[in-house]
């Protein structure tokens, strides 16, 4: 959604900052993967943005792209979102076992998902109080934030630690 995340800010007394925004129905949805190579401790951040809700087809497209980037295989630590549990996704993953392994997070446990910490950093850190005028401006800001985050090894490691995962 294009609604800004309003965060507390400082201003001179009597000059309350105003964040002007109108009700929007546009949507920018995202899917992401935060990776770590176990031997070399090399981190990666992959994402795809869509201007509609993410459904089974988008999940499969993202998994295919991830497989091209990580041809040796990987383990997915996934929440229980509906597109993740779709029959076509499960069949696609089953055809690639044991190269791709799925570990399911407990239900309603976003704090255990390192990718959720990436989005929290993007929304509540980099884009706090940001009021885009249109979807293009929002997409550009999200891409800038993710590109900067991708290059910060310590920050990516912190997302794993915040999720309670040892690396």
Query: pLDDT of 130-153, one tens digit each?
Result: 888 888 999 999 999 999 999 999
Is the distance from CB of 143 to CB of 127 less than 8 angstroms?
Answer: no
pLDDT above 60 (res 23): yes
Task: Give me the helices (H) in the chain, please.
Answer: 56-69, 87-94, 114-121, 135-150, 153-162
The DSSP 8-state label assigned to residue 128 in this structure reads: B
**Distance between CA atoms of residues 152 and 111, nearest Å:** 21
Do 95 and 70 touch, CB atoms closer than 8 A?
no
Element (H, E) at 78: strand 74-78
Over the stretch 69-125, which tens digit does the pLDDT of each residue have? 999 999 998 998 899 999 999 999 999 999 999 989 888 888 999 999 999 999 999
- Is 41 in a helix, a strand, or coil? coil
Domain 34-162 has CATH 3.40.50.1360: no
- Report helix, strand and coil shares of the chain as percent, to nearest 5: 40, 15, 45
Which CA distances in Å does 66 have to 42, 44, 73, 83, 156? 16, 11, 9, 16, 18
pLDDT at 154: 94
């Amino acid at each position: 959604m294009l609604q800004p995340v309003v965060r507390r800010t400082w201003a001179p007394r009597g000059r309350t900052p105003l964040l002007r925004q109108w009700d929007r129905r546009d949507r920018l949805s995202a899917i992401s993967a935060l990776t770590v190579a176990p031997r070399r401790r090399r981190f990666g951040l992959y994402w795809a943005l869509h201007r509609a809700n993410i459904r089974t087809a988008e999940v499969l497209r993202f998994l295919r792209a991830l497989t091209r980037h990580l041809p040796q295989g990987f383990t997915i630590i996934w929440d229980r979102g509906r597109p993740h549990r779709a029959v076509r996704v499960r069949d696609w993953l089953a055809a690639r076992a044991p190269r791709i392994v799925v570990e399911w997070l407990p239900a309603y446990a976003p704090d255990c998902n390192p990718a959720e910490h990436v989005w929290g950093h993007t929304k509540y850190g980099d884009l706090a109080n940001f009021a885009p005028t249109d979807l293009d401006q929002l997409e550009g800001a999200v891409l800038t934030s993710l590109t900067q985050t991708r290059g910060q090894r310590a920050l990516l490691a912190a997302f794993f630690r915040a999720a309670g995962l040892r690396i």
